[in-house]
Amino acid sequence: MQIDLLTLFPEFFRSPLSQSMLQRAQAQGAVIYRVLNLRDYTVDRHQVTDDRPFGGGPGMVMKIEPLAAAIRAVRQEDPATRVILLGPGGPVFSQAKAGQLAGCRHLLLICGHYEGVDDRIHFYIDEELSIGDYILTGGEIPALIVADAVTRLLPGVLGGEGATEEESFQDGLLEYPHYTRPRVFEGREAPQVLLEGDHARIARWRRQRSLERTVRRRPDLLAKAELSKEDREFIKSLAQAPGEG
């Protein structure tokens, strides 16, 4: 897969893309990242990418000409490129969306800035995505979030098939709690069930803890979660339960 990031601040991505899983994914050949400087697609001497908004008002607006030129250039290289604007006007990015995008061959993520982007951009993109209802300085952090979430789903990046199957949001629930050595720390013990080697009991315990965490911390997720009859019966029992186990 190739992920292009179109930005006014290419240096922003230098460190994150060279660290941890993102670096390993590149070394494995699972993904190619390319950071594109929007100013390279301007035609004026001063490489202007923004201007005052028609109708007046505060701030500056990103100009349509360099954005359209950049999109055309990338699509000329690969017509299959899926072009995404990171902005507040789209649906909120989710794990399900990350899985969908992981099936694409080529993504172009556009980082918005200033007061916004000339709205004619929507004639040139495939979709807009938001990462939440709050205000950020620009689209670089959202683009990095999308790139990270998509990359970790690519085959082999996390060490083999099934590596992401039990993580939070994969089945619509929060993930179960994890423990490791030492077995006892400051009087607090890791759950005994995890130390007994009974894989069926462990699987049941983990499923119940996942359900319990979701009920108590993110009950809104249950509306879309895939729940069995046993799951629903366990959730009903939590009404009288004192807390997480």
DSSP letters spanning 164-229: TTTSTTTTSSPPPP---S-SEETTEEPPGGGGS--HHHHHHHHHHHHHHHHHHH-GGGGGTS---H
The answer, yes or no, to whether residue 115 has pLDDT greater than 90, is: no
Token reading at 111: 């980082």
Instruction: For 212-227, write each residue's pLDDT tens digit.
Output: 999 999 999 999 899 9
Query: Residue 183: which region, alpha, beta or left (left: phi > 0; alpha: psi -120 to 50)?
Result: alpha
Beta strands 184-185; 188-189: pairing state: antiparallel
The answer, yes or no, to whether residue 245 has pLDDT greater than 60, is: no
Residues 26, 32: contact at Cβ < 8 Å? yes
Angstrom distance (rounded) from CA 39 to CA 31: 25
pLDDT of residue 243: 58
- The topology (CATH level 3) of 184-240 is Trp Operon Repressor; Chain A (1.10.1270)
The answer, yes or no, to whether residue 74 has pLDDT greater than 90, is: yes
Mean pLDDT of 157-173: 66
pLDDT of residue 162: 44
Architecture label for domain 2-151: 3-Layer(aba) Sandwich (3.40)
Mean pLDDT of 135-159: 95
Mean pLDDT of 78-105: 96
Between the CA atoms of 134, 135, 136 and 137, what dihedral angle is there, to the nearest 10 degrees?
180
DSSP letters spanning 52-118: PPTT--SS-EE-HHHHHHHHHHHHHH-TTPEEEEESTTSPBP-HHHHHHHTT-SEEEEEE--TTEE-
| Domains of the chain, residue spans | 2-151, 184-240
Instruction: For 16-44, write each residue's pLDDT tens digit.
Output: 999 999 999 999 999 999 999 999 999 99
Angstrom distance (rounded) from CA 73 to CA 79: 10
Prediction pTM value: 0.88
The answer, yes or no, to whether residue 165 has pLDDT greater than 60, is: no
pLDDT confidence band for 244 (50 / 70 / 90):
low
Half-sphere exposure of 124 (CA within 13 A, CB side): 21
